[in-house]
Amino acid sequence: IQLTQSPSSLSASVGDRVTITCRASQGISNYLAWYQQKPGMAPKLLIYGASTLQSGVPSRFSGSGSGTDFALTISSLQPEDFATYYCQQLNSYPLTFGGGTKVEIK
Amino acid sequence: QLQLQESGPGLVKPSETLSLTCSVSGASISSSNDYWHWFRQPPGKGLEWIGYIHYSGTTYYNPSLKSRVTISVDTSKIQFSLKLNSVTAADTAVYYCARPRSNNLHEAFDIWGRGTMVTVSS
């Protein structure tokens, strides 16, 4: 299953609302996760089940979607949110990831 | 608290075998009924799933790597290993071990090792 993330990069300011989308090449129900990755670090789980916030993750992060179209929204971008974000499908094996979205400071 | 730690050679010659170990602390592989996974990430690129092993020894690999990959569990049940043979420069990457949120094959991954960089070069 191929996952297409967009945009591949974006520039935003602190306080901005940011939305990243992920489209699956076939239906994956709600078996989608979102991760945040900072340079030199392992991915960090933000959202699972397409819309469930992982424990300890700030409530400014939210996920939505089902089937083939999904989105990750950051309601008010904070300095620590500048990172690369990946979606991952867990519907079927082999597990696959989107190409990533790099969120940079404007 | 469960922690994972990858270890192994940072440099492997082309055509040789890459061997990595993931040490598990805070849990027992043999009693947890969990699936233990490997991922990798080439420099500046995205993430790729390599395969998993269940505590029972059942494995499943990415078809793109299946002919070259072996994942095993140490008999002491406190670590699991990755072997990738006939490596080329394309196998240069940071390798991560990870465990999903529960013993469900459709669960996301909340526990990751810190990753270990492996370079394939003569």
What percent of chain B stands above pLDDT 70?
97
Taking CB atoms and an 8 Å limit, are B96 and A91 in contact across chains? no
Q: What is the reported pLDDT for B77? A: 66
Chain A: give the shortest CA distance to residue B96, in Å: 8
Selected for mutation to probe chain A from B4, B64, B101, B106 (highest A CB count within 10 Å) is B106
Residues of B in contact with A85 (CB under 8 A): none
Selected for mutation to probe chain B from A1, A88, A93 (highest B CB count within 10 Å) is A93
Q: What is the reported pLDDT for B100? A: 94
Q: What's the sign of the alpha-carbon dihedral B71, B76, B23, B120? A: negative
Mean pLDDT of A32-48: 98
Q: What is the reported pLDDT for B12? A: 98
State yes or no: pLDDT of B10 exceeds 70: yes
State yes or no: pLDDT of B75 exceeds 90: no
**Alpha carbons B66 and B36: distance in angstroms, whole number:** 17
State yes or no: pLDDT of B32 exceeds 80: no
**Alpha carbons B28 and B19: distance in angstroms, whole number:** 22
Mean pLDDT of chain B: 94
**Alpha carbons B71 and A39: distance in angstroms, whole number:** 27
- Kindly indicate the confidence band of residue B31, based on its pLDDT and cuts at 50, 70 and 90: low
**How many beta-carbon pairs under 8 angstroms link A with B?**
51
Higher pLDDT, B34 or A83: A83
Question: For residue B121, how many other CB atoms are within 10 A of its CB?
Answer: 9
Contact yes or no for A5/A22 (Cβ under 8 A): yes
What percent of chain A stands above pLDDT 90?
98
